[in-house]
Amino acid sequence: MNSSSRRAGQDSWTNATAPPTLDPVAADAPEGRGQGAIIGGGTRLPLRVGRHAPPQALAHWVDYLWIVRWSVREPHVQQVIPQPVIHVAAEDGRLSVHGVGDNSFARTLLGDGHVVGIAFRAGGFRGFADGPVSALSRSVRPLQEVLGVDDRPIAADLLDPDPDDAELTRRATEWLIGLGPTADPMIDRIAAFVDIAEGDATITRAEQLAEIAGVSLRTLQRQFGDYVGIGPKWVIQRFRVLDVAAVANRGGEVDWADTAVRLGFSDQSHLIRAFTRIVGTPPASYARGDLPSARTDTDSR
C-alpha cells in the first residue's frame, strides 16, 4: 500500500458555505442501502441524503450517485456501516476512493456543506481500474493515485455550493463517462451474485454462493477479490448485519430471536455477536438510541 493511503476512520466534513437548499428526493430515486447503512437512521438527523440513478451510459458500472447535505451549528458525528461496494467521494477539495472492508466509521459534520459520492455496482469499479480492486480494500486513497488523473477540477465542480443536486449529478456523470471505463461481462456476473447474497437471507455461507455460481469456492474467492475487493464470506456477513440495522432503524418493538431466524443467523446470540462486532453496540441497545462511539476496522476477511 502506498504511504499516502489512509485508513478509513473519523475525518471532518466541514464547510463554511451558504446554507444548502434541501431539494426533494425524486420519487424514482434509487433506495440504496441507507436504511441499514446509516447508523441512527431511525432518528431525525441534521442531514439530507439524496440518491440519483446514473444515466444508461453508466449503468453497467454505477449503482447510484449520492449527495449528502448538512447544516449544523454544533459538531455532529455521523457514523455509517460501509457496504460491500466501492465509493468515490468528493470531499475536502479532492476525490477519494473508498475501498471495501471496514467496520463502522464516522465523519464529523460542522457548518453548512455537502459531499458528492458515486456508489459503484459490485465489481463496477474494476472497469476503471488497471488491476484487481483488492488493492484498495480497507483503505481510502486519493483518486489521482488510483487512476492517475488530476481530480482537482472535477472536485471543485462537485463541491461548488451553488448548484442543485441535478446539476451536481450531471457534472459527475459527464466526468465519469469521459474516463472511458471498460465494459466487462464479469461485472454483470459478479453483481448478480452479490445481489443474490443481499436478497436471500438463507445464504449464510460462501459455499452456498459458490454452488449457485457453479464454480469452486476458491474460484469465487478469487473473482470476488478481483472485482469486489473482498471475499464472498465477508459480503454475505455484511449484508446480514445491514439487514439487522435496517430492522433496528425502523423502530418499534423487535423480536430479536425471530429476526435472527429470518435473517439466517444460527440464533439470537449469533446475531448479537455479529452486529456488535461491526457496529459497536448490541442491536437492542442500538434500537433504543444508544449509538456507538466511532470505530475503525478490525474485521477479518
Q: What are phi and psi of 241, to 5 degrees?
A: -70, -40
Residue of higher predicted confidence among 76 and 151: 151
Grid coordinates in use for 16? Answer: 463554511
**CB neighbours of 175 closer than 8 A, spacing ≥ 6?**
154, 157
Q: Is the pLDDT of residue 5 over 70?
A: no
Grid coordinates in use for 249? Answer: 432503524
Q: Is the pLDDT of residue 295 over 80?
A: no
Report the pLDDT averaged over residues 143-149: 97
| SS3 category, 253 | coil
Question: What superfamily in CATH does domain 185-287 come from?
Answer: Homeodomain-like (1.10.10.60)
Q: Tell me the C-alpha distance between 192 and 189, whole Å.
A: 5
Grid coordinates in use for 129? Answer: 481500474
Identity of the highest mean pLDDT range in 12-21, 74-83, 204-213, 280-289: 204-213
pLDDT tens digits for range 57-105:
999 999 999 999 998 888 888 777 888 899 999 999 999 999 997 766 6
Q: How confident is the model at residue 287 (pLDDT cuts 50, 70, 90)?
A: confident
Model pLDDT, residue 21: 32
Residue 146's CB: how many other CB atoms inside 10 A? 25
Grid coordinates in use for 122? Answer: 459490485
Residue of higher predicted confidence among 202 and 184: 184
Model pLDDT, residue 170: 98
Model pLDDT, residue 23: 36
Report the pLDDT averaged over residues 182-203: 95
Model pLDDT, residue 147: 97
Model pLDDT, residue 10: 33
Instruction: Report the mean per-residue pLDDT for the chain.
Output: 83
Query: Nearest to residue 228, comparing CAs of 270, 186, 269?
Result: 186
pTM of the model: 0.81
Model pLDDT, residue 291: 67
Q: How confident is the model at residue 19 (pLDDT cuts 50, 70, 90)?
A: very low
Report the pLDDT averaged over residues 24-42: 50
Burial class (CB in 10 A: 0-12, 13-18, 19+), 180: exposed
Report the pLDDT averaged over residues 246-252: 85
Q: Tell me the C-alpha distance between 245 and 124, whole Å.
A: 25
| SS3 category, 102 | coil
Report the pLDDT averaged over residues 188-201: 95
Q: Is the pLDDT of residue 33 over 80?
A: no
**CB neighbours of 15 closer than 8 A, spacing ≥ 6?**
111, 112, 113, 114, 159, 161
Lowest mean pLDDT among 85-89, 134-138, 244-248: 244-248
CA 140, 144, 149, 152 dihedral sign is: positive
Residue 179: half-sphere exposure toward Cβ, Cα within 13 Å: 25
Model pLDDT, residue 251: 79
Q: Tell me the C-alpha distance between 214 and 158, whole Å.
A: 42
Q: Tell me the C-alpha distance between 200 and 270, whole Å.
A: 18
What are the domain boundaries of the chain? Answer: 11-178, 185-287
> To which residue does cell 440513478 refer?
53
Q: Tell me the C-alpha distance between 56 and 60, whole Å.
A: 8
Query: Nearest to residue 216, comparing CAs of 207, 224, 228?
Result: 207
> To which residue does cell 504511504 refer?
3
Model pLDDT, residue 43: 53
Report the pLDDT averaged over residues 193-209: 94
Lowest mean pLDDT among 57-66, 148-157, 200-209, 280-289: 280-289
Backbone conformation region of residue 58, classed left if phi is above 0, alpha if psi is from -120 to 50, else beta = alpha
Beta bridge partners of 89: 96, 117
Q: Is the pLDDT of residue 11 over 50?
A: no
Residue of higher predicted confidence among 247 and 295: 247
